[in-house]
Amino acid sequence: MNKSLPSEPIEPDDPERRQFLEKTVSIVLGGAMVSVPVGAGIATLLAPLSSDKGGSLKIRLASIEDLPSDGTPKLYQIVAEKKDAWTKYPNKPIGSVFLRRIGESKVVAFSSSCPHAGCSVDIDSDGSAFFCPCHASSFDFDGITQGKSVSPRGLDALEVDPDLLVKGEVWVTFVKFKAGVADKVEV
Amino acid sequence: MKGLFSWLENRTGIGALAKEALFERVPGGARWRYVWGSTLTFAIMVQFITGVFLWMAYSPSASTAWESVYYIQNELTFGWILRGIHHWTAQIMVVLLVLHLVQVVIDSAYRAPREFNFWFGVILLFITLATSLTGYLLPWDQKGFWATKVATNLAGVVPIIGDDLQRVVIGGADYGHHTLTRFFALHAGILPAALIALIGVHIYLFRRHGITEAKPATRVGALYYWYLLAVGSAGLAVVAYLFKDSNPPWVLWVPSLLAAGVLVRIVFLHLHGKDDNSARRPKRDGMFWPDQIFRDAIVCFAVLGAVLFFVFWKGTELTSPADPSQPYNAARPDWYFMPLFLMLKFEPFQGEFGLVLGAIIVPGVLSSMLFMMPLIGLKKVGHWVNVVLLYVLIGGFVVLTVMAFKKDSSDPAYIADVTKAHEQAERVNELIEFNDGIPPEGALSLLYSDPLTQGPRLFATNCSTCHAYGYDDDGNALDGANKKLIDKQSAPDLKGVGSREWISKVLTVDHYQSSKFFGNTNFKKGKMLEFLVDTELEEEDVTGLAAALSSEAKLKSQSDIDNNDTKLIANGFEWMGEDELACVDCHKIKGEGGKKGPDLTAYMSRQWLVDFIGNSSHERFYGDDNDRMPNFLDAVSAEGEIKQGKLDQKSVELIVDWLRGEYADK
């Protein structure tokens, strides 16, 4: 606010310089103020990246006598306590596992999730192999890919606790693996 | 690069559009008072951005809405900031809307040919308020739930279509999943879409007619704005003064200093006789970019600063989950609906017609007057009528708002309700942490299985007709929920039941016969009293007996002393035996003894208390000697009849766990 008023309309000292300043300030402030809500939003959007992995879960599924002695695989549901965002489910089905008895005392466990794209693997119609209906991958009962399977690896074997197995109890460590890659990578 | 730009330009015309948008002439030069429209655009943009991100985490149903907002607020990284920005921007938007309206009216920017733009603006105002109103419910907390209940009940009093309207709005006869899904669709879908469309029209019309050029005839001098600012900041200071007790001192000092500064400025302008530069000398025209945008950017930045300030200073409230069975007397609408809220308490608005008058007719007439402004303002006199009307409206709004808040802040019942609501909200958070998550049924179920929350309520309703739970400072018996007993206490005080202290008192004659224990029951005379009078127990005896009996209760709070005082406890049990005090003549103790008095095996343990409350007339307890204690669980009488209990098993357990101090506690 000038003290002595010139009789002419006020000319800015240097309009270009003033405008440059105005433009710079506008752009800087504009960027800053958009980045606050966007930043807070992106942070919440990306929050899952820093959350815990699924982790593993050791669970008792059966007694060894429950499994067919001829080596036919049997599907078991995994039911566990599960936290989904805010909800804590006391008993929630989280997946399923094939158990197969070999001989008297050996048991193998396979995740029923297809290593190709995560579809649910089943036993084929004539009961001779594992078969994934989504993209027609086929696995023998040892979990190895067979025929024209598109799956990059065989079925994922899960750890069966050997000490408890001696006592006739089948305890399996349930883990999830990344689909679509040749190596078995935990997720 | 240049080729790419010209190709884009050729195919889309985006550059021309940007030019058109940015290089708008601002007649008379850019001004600070033109910023309000831009601040609103900015605020709405912030709401859209934060709203969409909140949407990604929000789940609208009666058993997940509160829970997902809890998650956003307490667990999601930066979620509290995101929700805070959304919440506080909504508050500030209302202020910006009013400023924009005032600016338009005093500059008579609503006059021909801009009537339509004004009308669209008023519609936008109402859509914004509707968006706030629908958003208020979405957290499904006590505050939003009860406030929305009031708002939708008001919709129900609309003549003729009211009932149907209300039913459609809340998605049924009662509040639930469909109230939330509907409100959410309105809040995040229909209303924002309407906002975008109408803002488009609003800005199109604004650009079509240009900024209202400052004509000498309608020119409002800069001094006028300084006076407005003075009145505004002084008003703010007065409001801050009225509420100075509930705020830090700077809340009063900032507007006071601002008002003082503005006054100094006004005096200065008067002394120098320059009320307005631009009034004397026409200023050169400016351009929207960068002259006006520069001012817009600075004020928008300040708006964001204010929003963040509130996010960090006040936080963003989430009261406890909506519970239709627990009236929340502190429920209030958002602050800008408070005048309407208060108005409905006034005498002219009593009764059925009064409600229609206050909730529908008066707001309707005021809105209509707002709509009529462009027509009223055709003549100069009309314009001044509008300006005065607007000031009266704003003044009335401020006065009613202040009155409403003042009334609440001096109402002990309201303050008590707010405190209770805060405690309950904290309790839910504690329970969620303790439980490491929320059960699938929702957070309310945690409160309903929490002895600390339910125990006092159940006790006050079912037990305090006879029993007391402690006493206040003046010695009045309390009902468990911190209210005085309505009837005279006629059964024992149960605070600290089963503890050594409680049992010690029972074993003293004075307490036993006093109204705090058996004084107003049949047991004030009887064998137990005779025993106490005859035996004249030493203090040492009482300590030992109380320690022994109390150890049977297995109270969480006494686990340490129960474990340490094994000798004392063993002695206590020995004294109860045949050879010493012979308690076992009448009472069973550790499974052995007489049947005349109540069985003291596992005395005051969880199961003992549940059984006792369930049916104290059972032969294990008082048998036929029972005075007035009803059976609270189903029981079979001596004649083989089934006597229905007053409560269910779970409620009795909640009372017992609360009395025994068995609940999640940090």
Is B659 in contact with B448 (CB distance < 8 Å)? Answer: no
ipTM rounded to 2 decimals: 0.85
What CATH number was assigned to the domain covering residues B28-218+286-331?
A: 1.20.810.10
For B640, residues 6+ apart whose C-beta sits below 8 A from its C-beta are none
Q: Considering CB atoms only, which of B50, B294, B437 is closest to A88?
A: B437
Report the range of poorest mean pLDDT among A168-172, B14-18, B566-570.
B14-18
Question: Distance of CA A186 to CAs A77, A174, B145, Å?
Answer: 20, 11, 45
Q: What total number of domains does chain A contain?
A: 2
Cα dihedral B340, B346, B349, B351 sign: positive
Task: Please report how the helices A15-45 and B79-106 are oriented relative to each other, as an axis angle in degrees rounded to 10.
Answer: 140
Strands (E), B430-550: none
Residue B218: closest CA among B324, B101, B109: B109
Per-residue pLDDT band for B216 (boundaries 50, 70, 90) equals: very low
Residue B444: closest CA among B456, B461, B457, B428: B428
Chain mean pLDDT for chain A: 89
pLDDT at B144 over 90: yes
Q: Considering CB atoms only, which of B290, B432, B439 is closest to A23?
A: B290
Taking the Cβ of residue A187 and every Cβ of chain B, the question of whether any pair is shorter than 8 Å is answered with no
Domain ranges of chain B: 28-218+286-331, 222-275, 338-410, 452-659
What does the pLDDT average to over B272-280? 54
What does the alpha-carbon distance between residue B325 and residue B499 come to, in Å, rounded to a whole number?
33
With b for 16 or more beta-carbon neighbours within 10 A and e for fewer, the B18-50 pattern comes to: eeeeeebebebbbbeebbbbbbbbbbbebbbbb
CB distance A9–B281 less than 8 Å?
Answer: yes
CB distance B67–A86 less than 8 Å?
Answer: yes
What does the alpha-carbon distance between residue B33 and residue B306 come to, in Å, rounded to a whole number?
18
Structural domain including A70 reads: 57-174
CB distance B82–A88 less than 8 Å?
Answer: no
Taking the Cβ of residue B79 and every Cβ of chain A, the question of whether any pair is shorter than 8 Å is answered with yes
Q: Is B458 helix (H, G, I), strand (E, B) or coil?
A: helix
Between A49 and B275, the higher pLDDT residue: A49
Residues A125 and A36 in one domain: no
Residue B118: closest CA among B349, B378, B399: B378
Tally Cβ neighbours within 10 Å of residue B390: 19
For residue B31, the model assigns a pLDDT of 81
Is B506 in contact with B512 (CB distance < 8 Å)? Answer: yes
Residue A179 lies inside a defined structural domain of this protein: no
Instruction: Name residue B221's amino acid.
Output: G
Q: Considering CB atoms only, which of A9, A25, A33 is closest to B294?
A: A25
Residues A61 and A111 in one domain: yes
Tens digit of pLDDT for each residue in A90-147?
999 999 999 999 988 899 999 999 999 999 999 999 889 999 999 999 999 999 999 8
Examine the fold and report which residue of A5, A24, A47 is the final residue of a domain before the chain moves on.
Answer: A47
- Top residue of A35, A87, A88 to mutate, by most chain B CBs within 10 Å, is A87
Percent of chain B past pLDDT 90, that is, above it, reads 63
pLDDT at A7 over 60: no
Residues A73 and A111 in one domain: yes
Residues A43 and A84 in one domain: no
CB distance B437–A87 less than 8 Å?
Answer: yes
Residues A93 and A162 in one domain: yes
* Category of B34 on φ-ψ map: left (φ > 0), alpha (ψ -120 to 50) or beta: alpha
- Segment 38-67 of chain B within 8 Å of chain A by CB: 42, 45-46, 49-50, 52-53, 56-57, 64, 67
Residues A41 and A68 in one domain: no
For residue B322, the model assigns a pLDDT of 93
| Tokens (6 digits) for B137 | 């419910």
With b for 16 or more beta-carbon neighbours within 10 A and e for fewer, the B445-461 pattern comes to: ebbebbbbbbbbbbbbe
Distance from CA of B560 to the nearest CA of A (A): 32
| Tokens (6 digits) for B204 | 């199109």
Residues A92 and A162 in one domain: yes
What does the pLDDT average to over B579-597? 89
Residues A42 and A98 in one domain: no
What does the alpha-carbon distance between residue A164 and residue B210 come to, in Å, rounded to a whole number?
83
Is A146 in contact with A125 (CB distance < 8 Å)? Answer: no
Tens digit of pLDDT for each residue in B146-167?
999 888 888 888 888 989 999 9
Residue A101 lies inside a defined structural domain of this protein: yes
Tens digit of pLDDT for each residue in B450-479?
999 999 999 999 999 999 999 999 999 999
* Category of B644 on φ-ψ map: left (φ > 0), alpha (ψ -120 to 50) or beta: beta
Tens digit of pLDDT for each residue in A45-78?
999 888 777 778 899 999 999 999 898 999 999 9
Residue B235: closest CA among B108, B397, B96, B107: B397
For residue B155, the model assigns a pLDDT of 85
Per-residue pLDDT band for A17 (boundaries 50, 70, 90) equals: confident
Residue A42 lies inside a defined structural domain of this protein: yes
Taking the Cβ of residue A93 and every Cβ of chain B, the question of whether any pair is shorter than 8 Å is answered with no
What does the alpha-carbon distance between residue B501 and residue B550 come to, in Å, rounded to a whole number?
9
CB distance B77–A9 less than 8 Å?
Answer: no
Most confident of B78-92, B412-426, B509-523: B78-92
Q: What is the DSSP annotation of A122-176? A: EE-TTSSSEEETTTTEEE-TTS-EETT---SS---EEEE-HHHHHTTEEEEEE--
- Top residue of B45, B76, B309 to mutate, by most chain A CBs within 10 Å, is B76
Residue A136 lies inside a defined structural domain of this protein: yes
pLDDT at B305 over 90: yes
Is B483 in contact with B476 (CB distance < 8 Å)? Answer: no
For B259, residues 6+ apart whose C-beta sits below 8 A from its C-beta are B230, B233, B234, B236, B237
**Chain B positions in Cβ-Cβ contact with residue A37 (cut-off 8 Å):** 46, 49-50, 82, 85
Is B166 in contact with B155 (CB distance < 8 Å)? Answer: yes
Provide the CATH number for the domain around residue A104. Answer: 2.102.10.10
- Top residue of A1, A34, A44 to mutate, by most chain B CBs within 10 Å, is A44
- Segment 15-74 of chain A within 8 Å of chain B by CB: 19, 22-23, 25-26, 29-30, 32-34, 36-38, 40-47, 50
Residues A34 and A79 in one domain: no
Residue A86 lies inside a defined structural domain of this protein: yes
Residue B609: closest CA among B656, B574, B654, B645: B656
Tens digit of pLDDT for each residue in B39-94?
999 999 999 999 999 999 999 999 999 999 999 999 999 999 999 999 999 999 99
CB distance A88–B436 less than 8 Å?
Answer: yes
Taking the Cβ of residue B308 and every Cβ of chain A, the question of whether any pair is shorter than 8 Å is answered with yes
With b for 16 or more beta-carbon neighbours within 10 A and e for fewer, the B623-632 pattern comes to: eeebbebbbb
